Amino acid sequence: MAGKYFGQPILRNEDAQLLSGKARFIDDIDLPGMLHAAFLRSDFAHARIKKIDYSAALKRSGVVAVYTAEDFGDFWRPGPLQVPPPTAIKGSVFNARTLVPIAKDKVRFSGEPLAVIIAESRYIAEDAFDDIIVEIEPLDAVNDLEKALEPGAPLVHEDLDSNLAADVVQERGNYEEARAKADVVISRKILVNRNAGAALENRGFVVEWEERSRQMTVWATTQAPIPLRNTIAARMGLFENQVRVITPFIGGGFGPKIMTSQADDVLLPWIAMKLKRPIKWIEDRRENFLATTSERDQVHYAEIALTKEGTILGVKDVFYHNTGAYDPYGMTVPLNTQTHTVSNYRVPNFYTQIKMVFTNQMVVTPVRGAGRPQGVFVMERLMDAAARELNMDPAEIRMKNLLIPDEFPLRTGIIGQDFVEGVLDSGNYKKNLEKTMEIVGYEKFRKEIQPKLRAEGKHVGIGIVTFTEGTAVGPYEGARVTIGANGKVNVATGISTQGQGHFTSFAQIVAEQVGIDVKDINVVTGDTAHFHWGAGTFASRGAAVAGSAIHNAAVKVREKIFSLASKIFEEPEENLEVGDGKVWVKSNPSQSMLLGDLALRANPTRGTIEPGVEPGLEATAYYGPPYGATGAGAVAMIVNLDPETMQVKVEHFVIVHDCGTAINPMILEGQVYGGISMGIGNAFYEKMVYDDNGQLLSASFMDYLMPQATDMPAKMELGHLVTTTPLNTLGIKGVGEAGAIPTPAAFVQAVEDALHGQVEIMESNLNPSRIFEYLQKKQ
Amino acid sequence: MKPVPFNYFAPTSVEEALDKLAELGYDGKILAGGQSLVPAMNFRMARPGALVDLNNIPELAYIKPTSEGGLAIGTMTRDSKVEHDPKVIEMFPLLGEVMPNIAHAQIRNRGTFGGSIAHADPAGQLPAISIALDANLFIQSKSKERWVKATDFFTGPFMTVLDPDDMLVEIVLPPHLPHTGSSYQQVSRQRGGYAQAAVASVVTLDDQNRCKEARVVLISVGDTPILSARAKEILVGQKPTAEAFKEVAQAIAANEIDPATDIHATADYRRHLVEVLVERSLTIAFDRAKKGV
């Protein structure tokens, strides 16, 4: 459905500003009289707070105020449950222990705030750390997910009987019966490691309380400006329209910026109102590592039952999920794991159980992928183990079990992160895999290239996996499209942007309807004064959900253009055409009007209007899907392993991806490539490592290795498949997390293959030293 | 991640800098390229009372030939200058191999040759290279001046013979003997990252193609760069053979290094790497010595 603008690889509207250094980011905001905040954070992961004495800090020149939990009085309370558990899952247990804004009585993770210091500069605020005396009684830390549930384990939340945060069983069919009929049953313990979101820009929060107008303005790097506005207003006892949240340009989100109850979100508005001065807090990298949020840590006990021909009869997966010290984001991540474990294969019988565990670690909330990479990793590893056992080719066993288009829409029987039963709407999973094999040259590699290279002593291996990405979930988004008297268009929507290219892709959607060039369309995201209904940018939903709302609003504006022009020209609507910023009569193009002029006519300041006519060339619309759209794809990866140093190079990476209609293929490619780099990072570089005391050992970029340009595959190819979703008019599915989801599974498979199947690897993050250990153990 | 308060001085001559360092004593710290010191200050791990910034003393940045046929490098010479100086690379091919491995281009544009040596990070390349190339280091303070061999300069992790008022002023690299070859082998997790292990070898052959000198230096596997004694013992006076390289590699891995386990690698893996890299570097270095490269 590509048009003049929609579907075209148009250069991004926002890039000139960004690339010339003229974009405003949060740290560029400087207000008169502004104070700076710094958080004193706990060095201990688990401890009882005896006493915090900050009297010396108050004496330091430039320190304005210091607060601990006690100083906030009744304002201190645990934050909201940002995502409640789905009530539809019968018999599930969920213990809500939401994030507290600042530690009171007890510390539950290393990096948890103990005190907030307000000073004339951030330097002075940090100097005051040394003035504060914290008396603390260290407690044993809870780290190991399985030991955490053993009787006698130290308790993260002492009002609970155990560290169990949630226990959720979902089943379709009957796994045990399927298992009894199976020729082959394979069980494995599978580990998935913990990763950071690690956006280029950390979080930030600036708040100003204007006493005379009783207005609060907040600049924040949030992915959820409207929920943040709503929670601040509620906490402060203000009306929503007394709080304006603005997101400036943001350097990446990746999930952790979705939270609305971190210390800064909660405490700084209160302090700004009390001190009557603006306050700025810019998170530093160490704080981001220690105390934002991160994700992925799971331990799976998984099992697959098959016939001897390789047909899957059933899958069982019981897994421990680390939620960290609190669970403000409900069960979103492990539910995604449940919905993605078997989603692309025909698995008639599926048993899946979440055991969500509190630990003395940073809170877990979604990070790009959000539970999906874990599910895909587990399933793909089971498929590989099965292929080995049955002496089948990894591609063959997958092809045999992939769902086919005739089976869609397919109700999965598994309730997902959007609280409703998952439905696979559309797709062509086999075609994804076929096309991937074709591009990478799978058969030729297996039959000719690999044997030849092996004979030369080279250790080359191939990994090939498939995946789905549940995207575009509800509840809804909205948008307002307005044509101005200047002939240009303003588009406002409630979600925020962290680099996804919305300023261009949303403009393309509108341009196609109103016939005004993309460059003349101004898109405003993440400013609650411009649009104040919506949920946010997460779950690969921006383009599909907000994009659909924008499309609906643009269609309404188009209708208004035709309706008004029809009256002015005294011509039926079907005789009119719109484009190049004007509307004209098809049979007589000289009879035309600029849309800016038409916009003026649509908003008369004298005279009368007909009943029911709304002013302006403006419309507001909303869109909410009944359930999410599911994207899918397949990945093949060829690696070369140095058998002496265990260094691994990705030589060739192929992804075939299907996210339905593409709004802007160039932006889409960027999203997919970015996801792949994160996937390669997750597989071979990035790892959050905690020691037994709950200390994060990887709290800087010296130790937390981000994938670099030089770590990217020597050759990368992207294939597109388009099966449109019936869930929205444009046929769009989300894509934001695609690359990150399948990559670790493909990487590990390729490494195993490079080692001639000598070792079986059931963990998602490798490094050369770890590969060396596997080989040592083998010898 | 903001440093604690500190004083800042920007002398414009060596004399002025040495005066300031003498006056500050233990309170003073030299700021050269700042690529290691400033992050350490931001982490508040380093808390110097005062910085003496050498960036306004142009006379400390130079590369010039010595009368003995070697090169003298001023302490404030940027790493990227050394990297891209054709004379340096021609005379010391080892530097041509090493320099691109020191962090990233932006860091090499600021980082200095002398600063890196004086910082004495056991994972740093230039401390080891100064030993491999048998450098002579010229050190000055307000009250004294002296020459110290690179082999005697490093006393522990981030520790050297420098007194608080001392400045490493110049690094002199003696010329290679004829039939000298070198090789640098490094394994790091990523391009520009810290070496998990690295080996620099500089070897010289005599007229009968026997080994005359072998300087094998190990990086990142001990408190300081390690100059292998075993390599010398095994190789000098002998024809270089694959068997001998293997013997050296095994001897070094077994006896001369003390690698640590950290979150990126086990000590066993690092030991294994050293064995692999020593063998690789000796093979290449002797090959180059034979070819007269």
Residue type, A486: N
Q: At what angle do helices A394-401 and A372-390 cross, to 10 degrees?
A: 110
What pLDDT, on a 0 to 100 scale, did the predictor assign at position A1?
61
Q: In what order do the strands lie in the sheet containing A312-324? A: A93-94, A164-172, A349-358, A312-324, A298-306, A184-192
**DSSP letters of A584-635?**
EETTEEEEEEEHHHHHHHTS-SSS---TTPPSSEEEEEEE--SS-EEEEEEE
- Contact between B269 and A711 using a beta-carbon 8 Å cutoff: no
**Is B293's pLDDT higher than 60?**
no
Return the half-sphere exposure (C-beta side, CA atoms, 13 A cut-off) of residue A744. 35
Flag whether A145 is in a domain.
Answer: no
What pLDDT, on a 0 to 100 scale, did the predictor assign at position A779?
78
Same domain, A302 and A448: yes
DSSP secondary structure letter of residue B75? T
Same domain, A598 and A687: no
Q: Give tens-digit pLDDT for B220-276.
A: 999 999 999 999 999 999 999 999 999 999 999 999 999 999 999 999 999 999 999
Q: Give tens-digit pLDDT for A100-139.
A: 999 999 999 999 999 999 999 999 999 999 999 999 999 9
Tokens of A12: 């991004």
What's the topology of domain B180-291?
A: Enolase-like; domain 1 (3.30.390)
User: Nearest chain B Cα to A38, which residue?
Assistant: B1
Give residue A419's Cα distance to chain centre: 17
- Contact between A769 and B266 using a beta-carbon 8 Å cutoff: yes
Give residue A203's Cα distance to chain centre: 15
Cβ–Cβ under 8 Å, residues B75 and B115:
yes
What pLDDT, on a 0 to 100 scale, did the predictor assign at position A567?
95
Same domain, A333 and A449: yes
Q: Give tens-digit pLDDT for A237-292.
A: 999 999 999 999 999 999 999 999 999 999 999 999 999 999 999 999 999 999 99
Q: d(Cα A57, Cα A62) in Å, to the nearest integer?
A: 10
Same domain, A298 and A335: yes
- Architecture in CATH of B7-53: 2-Layer Sandwich (3.30)
- What ipTM is given for this predicted complex? 0.95
CATH 3.30.465.10 range(s) for chain B read: 58-173
Burial B161-189 (b: 16+ CB within 10 A, else e): ebeebbbbbbbbbeebeebbbbbbbbbbb
SS3 sequence, A380-409? HHHHHHHHHHHCCCHHHHHHHHECCHHHCC
DSSP secondary structure letter of residue A80? P
Q: How confident is the model at residue A749 (pLDDT cuts 50, 70, 90)?
A: very high
DSSP secondary structure letter of residue A545? I
Segment (H or E) for A201:
none
Q: Which member of A123, A698, A769 has the closest CB to residue B265?
A: A769
B190, B245, B266, B274, best to mutate vs chain A, most A CBs in 10 Å: B190
Bond prior to A475 in cis (omega within 30° of 0) = yes
Domain tally for chain A? 3
What pLDDT, on a 0 to 100 scale, did the predictor assign at position A607?
87
Q: Considering A272, A291, A310, which residue would you say is the last residue of a domain? A: A291
What pLDDT, on a 0 to 100 scale, did the predictor assign at position A608?
85
- Contact between A645 and B265 using a beta-carbon 8 Å cutoff: no
A420-427: average pLDDT: 94
Same domain, A499 and A588: yes
A545-573: average pLDDT: 97
Q: Give tens-digit pLDDT for B261-271.
A: 999 999 999 99
Same domain, A378 and A446: yes
What pLDDT, on a 0 to 100 scale, did the predictor assign at position A394?
97
Dihedral over Cα of B11, B16, B18, B20: its sign? negative
Q: Nearest CA to CA, how far is B143 from chain A (Å)?
A: 36
Q: Considering A291, A306, A335, which residue would you say is the last residue of a domain? A: A291
- Contact between B266 and A687 using a beta-carbon 8 Å cutoff: no
For the purposes of burial, counting CB atoms within 10 Å of the CB of A607, is it exposed (0-12), middle (13-18) or buried (19 or more)?
Answer: exposed
- Contact between B187 and A776 using a beta-carbon 8 Å cutoff: no
Q: Give tens-digit pLDDT for B65-79.
A: 999 999 999 999 999
What pLDDT, on a 0 to 100 scale, did the predictor assign at position B292?
73
Q: Give tens-digit pLDDT for B186-223.
A: 999 999 999 999 999 999 999 999 999 999 999 999 99
CB atoms within 10 A of CB A71: 17
- Contact between B269 and A769 using a beta-carbon 8 Å cutoff: yes
What pLDDT, on a 0 to 100 scale, did the predictor assign at position B237?
96
Flag whether A446 is in a domain.
Answer: yes
Range of the domain at A283: 198-291
Segment (H or E) for B30:
strand B28-31
Which residues of B fall below an 8 Å CB-CB distance to A? 1-5, 43-44, 187, 189-194, 196, 263-266, 268-270, 272-273, 276-277
CATH class label, B58-173 = alpha beta
User: Which residues of chain B make contact with A683, given a CB cutoff of 8 A?
Assistant: none
Q: Which member of B2, B194, B268 has the closest CB to residue A122?
A: B2
Same domain, A762 and A651: yes
Cβ–Cβ under 8 Å, residues A25 and A203:
no
CATH label of the domain that carries residue A213: 3.30.365.10
Cβ–Cβ under 8 Å, residues B225 and B218:
yes
- Contact between A127 and B189 using a beta-carbon 8 Å cutoff: no
**Is A433's pLDDT higher than 80?**
yes
Q: How confident is the model at residue B40 (pLDDT cuts 50, 70, 90)?
A: very high
Q: d(Cα A666, Cα A675) in Å, to the nearest integer?
A: 14
Flag whether A770 is in a domain.
Answer: yes
Flag whether A76 is in a domain.
Answer: no
Same domain, A478 and A599: yes
Return the half-sphere exposure (C-beta side, CA atoms, 13 A cut-off) of residue B239. 4
- 3-class DSSP state for residue B150? helix
Same domain, A630 and A603: no
Q: Give tens-digit pLDDT for A575-604.
A: 999 999 999 999 999 999 999 999 999 999
User: Nearest chain B Cα to A645, which residue?
Assistant: B273
A43, A645, A690, A774, best to mutate vs chain B, most B CBs in 10 Å: A645
The chain-wide mean pLDDT, for chain A, equals: 96
Tokens 């005004």 locate to: A516
